[in-house]
Structure 1
Amino acid sequence: MTDPDLLATTFVGIDFETLNPGGRRPEPIEIAAVAGKLTAEGSWQEDGRFERFIRPPVDVSFTSFDTAQTGITAAMIQQADGAAVTLAALEELFAHPPYVLFAHNAPYEAGLIYDQEAACPVLARLPMLDTVRLARTVYPDLPRHRLDDVLSHLGMPPPVGRHRAMPDVLATCAVFARMVTDGARAGRWSTLTDLHRVAGIEPKALRDDARAAAPQQDSLF
């Protein structure tokens, strides 16, 4: 891989653990983000980590099922900041672009970020790649492309603490680097532009910006 834009970009893997109350949007209770760059040889060079619990709104119940899914208990998040404060803290790390986010099933993570767009406007407008779409392109014969399926296909063991945010995002980083390398070797892509074409998710905040600007642009003519 020799594309200078690809090699200069800091990629940030991101993962949320959530509660899923009936009749409303999911509420995040944990976030992890890991930043790094890809080398010309395809290895992953980590630059830093961010990991926080998130306290959900008081009207969202925390059940034994939620604990069984993630290992997170209500007591563990009692003293945590809410989602807006936490996402604003993450945003402070994005002072020197270019950054590109990535996640497994990225539309889900993108939606959670968009929900807090007022607190993290820069984060909500960063380009994002979906590693599910990368997996479907580079491993088309796999019947399913869940994170566990891709890990198994690549001979990577599931992380200890699976379904906690940091173990999951570290696994996603390993899968991301391997898929980008395998796809480049197979001729699926060679540049950052190619990756966005195959797996890019347009941030909802940017679509909002475009709609807001459209009447003003029309009025100029």
Structure 2
Amino acid sequence: MNFIAMDFETANGKRHSAVSLGIAVVRNNQLVDQFYSLIKPDASIEFDRRNIQIHGITPRDVADAPSFPEVWHQVQQFYTPEQLVIAHNAPFDNGVLKASLQHYGLQPAHYLSLDTVRTSRRLYPELPNHKLNTVSEALHIDLEHHHNALDDTVAAAEILVKQSNQFGVDVLKPLVKVI
């Protein structure tokens, strides 16, 4: 399989408040490249204490980080109509991308999306839940720092590779959505 995996962390409950992005590039079921960046949200964004507790990113951490439009300029080539983009809880990450693009007046991205929470629910119904750390542990995937955008991205990529190797790509195709 060829795809990219993405994961965003946000400053608060607003979808356009991205503070980090991780991307993993997978070609022929092999992780071939990674990208990680902190993101400085615009000045109107306030950090929620709960979000900081989850991911550990503070306003000080992003003070000198690039803005979302600067980060988008570096990664937009990955988001094309024929590109599969996966995430664990893809509705969240797709929502952050869409809201951030809208917030900054950038063109919408069009790509194929697959949610590894959905694939995990379908393929591993016996798990107590389908959170990233639970699925990673069940599949013996090392998730070093949960809620670090790059570590979460790499874990989601490894989950999909294992699922495609174990169950075949045809089982996953019906779960792909057009964004």
Q: TM-score range by the shorter chain?
A: 0.7 to 0.9
Secondary structure of 2:9 counterpart: strand
**Structure 2: 5+ residue runs without aligned partners?**
none
Deviation at residue 131 of structure 1 after TM alignment:
0.6
Q: 2 CA distance for matches of 1:133 and 1:61?
A: 31
Match of residue 148 from structure 1: 133
Distance verdict in 2 for CA 1:94–1:63, change over 3 Å: closer
Alignment of 1:1-221 (within 5 A): 7=1, 10-21=2-13, 24-38=14-28, 44-93=29-78, 98-115=82-99, 116=101, 118-119=105-106, 121=108, 124-157=109-142, 159-184=143-168, 190-191=169-170, 194-197=171-174, 199-203=175-179
Aligned-pair RMSD on alpha carbons?
A: 2.2
Deviation at residue 143 of structure 1 after TM alignment:
3.0
Q: 1 CA distance for matches of 2:177 and 2:95?
A: 11
Residue pair 1:128, 1:200 contacting (<8 A) in 2 also: yes
Secondary structure of 1:178 counterpart: helix
Secondary structure of 1:107 counterpart: helix
Larger Rg: 1
TM-score (norm 1): 0.71
Distance verdict in 2 for CA 1:136–1:59, change over 3 Å: same
Q: 2 CA distance for matches of 1:37 and 1:120?
A: 27
Deviation at residue 155 of structure 1 after TM alignment:
2.8
Structure 1: which 4+ aligned runs deviate by more than 4 Å?
Answer: none
Deviation at residue 179 of structure 1 after TM alignment:
1.3
Q: Percent identity?
A: 25
Deviation at residue 60 of structure 1 after TM alignment:
1.6
Q: 1 CA distance for matches of 2:71 and 2:162?
A: 30
**Structure 1: 5+ residue runs without aligned partners?**
1-6, 39-43, 185-189, 204-221
Residue pair 1:91, 1:120 contacting (<8 A) in 2 also: no
Q: 1 CA distance for matches of 2:17 and 2:156?
A: 21
Distance verdict in 2 for CA 1:179–1:93, change over 3 Å: closer
Deviation at residue 28 of structure 1 after TM alignment:
0.7
Residue pair 2:12, 2:48 contacting (<8 A) in 1 also: no
